[in-house]
């Protein structure tokens, strides 16, 4: 019909002008013989192909929330040297310018005493970290590192006589010996194992990336001190000093770009307090002497790391490397023999007053590689 045809044409024109997706069509109450029904036409909205580029990724945020979560995998080494406030190896007593005749009128000479501590070198300590962070920035991780060092020192004395040198061992639990022969050898061991299991939260904003962590630290320290006269079964001293415990640990890690998006300055601080059992034993096999002590101990641990980080995006993952300076302080962790600074040549080497705990300090470099995927 002419009226219906005009109405349909107007409807199509309005739909095309407004890009409407709804068609308004009116059908007549009846169709002429042989006519086909009106088929509604649809004018679809034009579509736009929108592609988003990934945001810049930080070392712990390769896929910024709320896009996805990611796994953390790190491996590296800590090049560290152990330093003690008190870790005695030998004591020396030298007499010089003493007369061979009667005193007086002869000269008594001069007596010099000296204390030497155990020498420690730089040790390669491996470490590994595994974790996961979800789309909201919450996650968990485990971190493990292991330090092991053994030392061997020999101190030569002098020929016997009125001007001679006496060699003194350390005095673990009051057991020690004095030797006037030509040499004394001391061996020691320091093993430290650390496992951190913690929850983490990552926050990124204003070009800063901050990671907060809190959880439980498990620590074990094994130390030993042994002194003996080489090629002799006499004057032998064997001792061990161990600690194993657990306690809370808290950490904060911060990153900030330096001169480009792939180069960051990073810093880490951590504080821990571990509580546990400490055991020390000492024996003089040649004299059938032995001593043992069991005690409850606590160790406060402070750690700091500062360095540079380079990261690179590779497909859906991020590779990064870090080099930084590491410093740690283990307060009251003890030493190989736990001999106090009062154990000097000429001392009695008897009693608990000659026992003292030392701090252990670690200083060195951290070198690690990691991937977030």
- The CATH number that applies at residue 285 is 2.40.128.90
Report pLDDT digits (tens) over 35-85.
455 545 444 445 444 444 333 344 444 454 445 789 999 999 999 999 998
| Domain presence at residue 101 | no
Alpha helices in the chain (DSSP H): 2-18
> Judging by DSSP bridges, how do beta strands 183-205 and 178-179 pair with one another?
unpaired
Query: Does residue 229 sit in the same domain as residue 348?
Result: yes
Give me the pLDDT at residue 230, please.
85
Beta-strand pair 183-205/236-260: unpaired
N-term to C-term CA, the chain: 68
The number of residues in the chain equals: 373
65 in a structural domain: no
Per residue in 160-211, pLDDT (tens digit) is: 555 677 888 888 988 888 887 778 999 999 999 999 999 999 998 888 899 9
Regarding whether 276 and 149 lie in a shared domain, the answer is yes
Residue 325 lies in a domain: yes
Q: Are residues 78 and 44 in the same domain?
A: no
Query: Are 43 and 4 found together in one domain?
Result: yes
DSSP label of 41: P
75 and 5 assigned to the same domain: no
Which letter does DSSP use for residue 50 in this model?
A: -
Mean pLDDT of 131-159: 93
- Write phi, then psi, for 182 (nearest 5 degrees): -80, -20
133 in the same domain as 35: no
Taking the C-alpha atoms of residue 318 and residue 335, their distance in angstroms, rounded to an integer, is 42
User: Is residue 97 helix, strand or coil?
Assistant: coil
Positive or negative: CA dihedral 96, 99, 102, 103: negative
Residue 271 makes CB contacts below 8 A (sequence gap 6+) with: 249, 250, 251, 300, 301, 302, 303
- Map residue 12 onto helix, strand or coil: helix
pLDDT at 177: 87
Of 129, 225, 141, nearest in space to 184 by CA: 225
d(CA 253, CA 77): 18
* Spatial separation of the C-alpha atoms in residues 171 and 358, rounded to whole Å: 14
- Longest Cα–Cα distance of the chain, Å, equals 154
State how beta strands 88-96 and 263-284 pair. unpaired
Task: Report yes or no: 271 and 331 within 8 Å, Cβ to Cβ.
Answer: no
DSSP string for 155-180: EE---SSSS-EEEEE--GGG---EE-
- Asked if residue 17 is part of any domain, the answer here is yes
Asked if residue 58 belongs to a domain, the reply is no
Burial string for 256-278 (b: 16+ CB within 10 Å, else e) reads ebeeeebebebebebebbbebeb
Q: How far is CA 205 from CA 140, 200, 211, 266, in A?
A: 21, 17, 12, 15
Q: Is the pLDDT of residue 18 over 60?
A: no
Q: Which residue has the tokens 């000269």?
A: 107
Tell me, yes or no, whether 132 and 43 share the same domain.
Answer: no
10 and 126 share a domain? Answer: no
The predicted-structure confidence for 259-298, as pLDDT tens digits, reads as follows 877 899 999 999 999 999 999 999 999 899 999 999 999 9
Average pLDDT for the chain = 81
Percent of the chain topping pLDDT 90: 53
Specify whether 3 is located in the same domain as 131: no
Distances (CA, A) of 203 to 60, 254, 308: 9, 10, 20
Q: Give the count of domains, the chain.
A: 2
Find, among 270, 144, 137, 139, the residue nearest to 210 by Cα. 137
Q: Is residue 93 part of a domain?
A: no
Residues 233 and 337 in one domain: yes
Q: Are 214 and 340 part of one and the same domain?
A: yes
Q: How many other CB atoms are found less than 10 A from the CB of residue 109?
A: 15
* pLDDT score for 52: 40
Residue 107 lies inside a defined structural domain of this protein: no
Residue 56 in any domain: the answer is no
Note whether 241 and 336 are same-domain residues. yes
**Closest residue by Cα to residue 197 from 276, 251, 135, 125:** 251
For residue 294, the enclosing domain spans 70-86+119-156+182-372
**Does 354 have pLDDT greater than 50?**
yes
Token representation of residue 267: 């810093």
């Amino acid at each position: 019909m002419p009226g219906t045809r005009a109405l349909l044409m107007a409807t199509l024109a309005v739909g095309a002008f407004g890009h409407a997706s709804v068609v308004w069509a009116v059908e007549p109450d009846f169709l002429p013989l042989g006519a086909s029904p009106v088929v509604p036409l649809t004018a679809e909205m034009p579509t736009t192909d929108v592609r988003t580029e990934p945001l810049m990724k930080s070392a712990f945020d390769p896929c910024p929330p709320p896009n996805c979560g990611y796994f953390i995998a790190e491996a590296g080494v800590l090049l560290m040297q152990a330093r003690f406030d008190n870790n005695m190896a030998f004591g020396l007593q030298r007499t010089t310018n003493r007369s061979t005749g009667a005193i007086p009128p002869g000269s008594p000479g001069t007596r010099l005493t000296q204390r030497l501590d155990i020498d420690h070198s730089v040790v390669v300590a491996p470490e590994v970290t595994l974790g996961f962070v979800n789309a909201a920035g919450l996650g968990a991780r485990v971190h493990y590192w292991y330090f092991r060092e053994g030392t061997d020192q020999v101190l030569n004395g002098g020929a016997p006589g009125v001007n001679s040198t006496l060699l003194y061992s350390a005095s673990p639990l009051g057991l020690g010996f004095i030797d006037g022969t030509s040499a004394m050898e001391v061996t020691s061991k320091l093993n430290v194992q650390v496992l951190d299991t913690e929850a983490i939260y990552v926050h990124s904003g204003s070009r800063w990336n901050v990671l907060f962590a809190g959880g439980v630290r498990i620590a074990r320290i094994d130390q030993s001190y042994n002194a003996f006269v080489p090629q002799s079964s006499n004057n032998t001293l064997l001792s061990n000093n161990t600690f194993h415990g657990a306690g809370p640990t808290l950490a904060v890690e911060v990153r900030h770009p330096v001169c480009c998006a792939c180069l960051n300055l990073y810093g880490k601080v951590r504080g821990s307090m571990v509580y546990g059992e400490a055991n020390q034993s000492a024996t003089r096999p040649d004299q059938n002497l032995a001593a043992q002590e069991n005690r409850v101990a606590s160790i406060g641990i402070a750690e700091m790391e500062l360095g540079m980080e380079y990261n690179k995006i590779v497909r859906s993952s991020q590779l990064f490397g870090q080099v930084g300076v590491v410093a740690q302080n283990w307060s009251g962790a003890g030493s190989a023999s736990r001999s106090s600074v009062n154990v000097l040549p000429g001392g009695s080497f008897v009693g608990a007053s000659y026992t003292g705990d030392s701090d252990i300090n670690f200083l060195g470099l951290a070198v690690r590689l990691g991937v977030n995927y």
